[in-house]
Amino acid sequence: MEQEGEVYFSVKQYPISRDAWFYLAILAFLMVLAYWIRPWLVIIPGILFIFISFFFRNPERDIPTDKLTLVSPADGVVMDVERVFEDQFLNGESIRVRIFLSIFNVHINRCPMAGEVVFCFYRPGKMIPAFKSHASELNEKNYVGIQNEHLQVLVTQVTGFIARRIVCWVNKGDRVVKGERYGLIKFGSCTEIFVPTNVEIMISPGDRVRGGVSVIGRVNVE
């Protein structure tokens, strides 16, 4: 898409993420094969087909337009809101919001604000449950830093015990819009957002949030 004369990052989206198509094709073949062997056997791959379609659902969202608000990068439950020292991108004191995604949540990740992707980094790691407090330090993790005229933010994708693969569609130099889909984590995970301390956080631990819709903070530009 284009905005103000600049070319913005865009990936063609479908109601079910294209990352599911390979699994769905295999399951469709198994359903046909199972039907010819024993019709009742189609139940097993059929249930898996429905689950994969549900897990990789990719709904449209109405994105808030206020340029000073930040939206949630993921669907899920807010695990904690803490002041931490972030040393990968912000290099200073920041506020971290951690969001846990169960297998029942939409797993598409979205950009919390418009801007330019200025930092990308992938770190291999372990696969301990994403809801554990130390999962962020040990698990496989992908970092994406975005900046605009107001601030810089860092979003991370963290794998879990069930999640085994991080998918990220953006690269350094891409320009993104608020709420733009930028990746997903397969089968349960955690997403984090690190923001400067001048951001007023508007959610609390235990809140349920929706990616691209729920406002998690507002920039104080004074």
| Spatial distance between the Cα atoms of 52 and 209, rounded to a whole number of angstroms | 22
Distances in Å between the alpha carbon of 142 and those of 97, 102, 190?
16, 18, 11
150 Cβ neighbours under 8 A, 6+ residues apart: 67, 68, 113, 219, 221
**Interacting residues of 193 by C-beta distance below 8 A, sequence separation 6+:** 70, 72, 73, 96, 97, 99, 112, 153, 154, 155, 156, 216
CA separation for the pair 156, 144 (Å, rounded): 6
Question: How would you list the strands of the sheet with 215-219, edge to edge?
Answer: 69-71, 215-219, 199-201
Catalytic choice (17, 189, 204, 214): 189
Of 102, 94, 86, whose CA–CA distance to 161 is shortest? Answer: 102
Q: Is residue 154 within 8 Å of 143, Cβ to Cβ? A: yes
204 is catalytic: no
| Catalytic machinery residues | 189
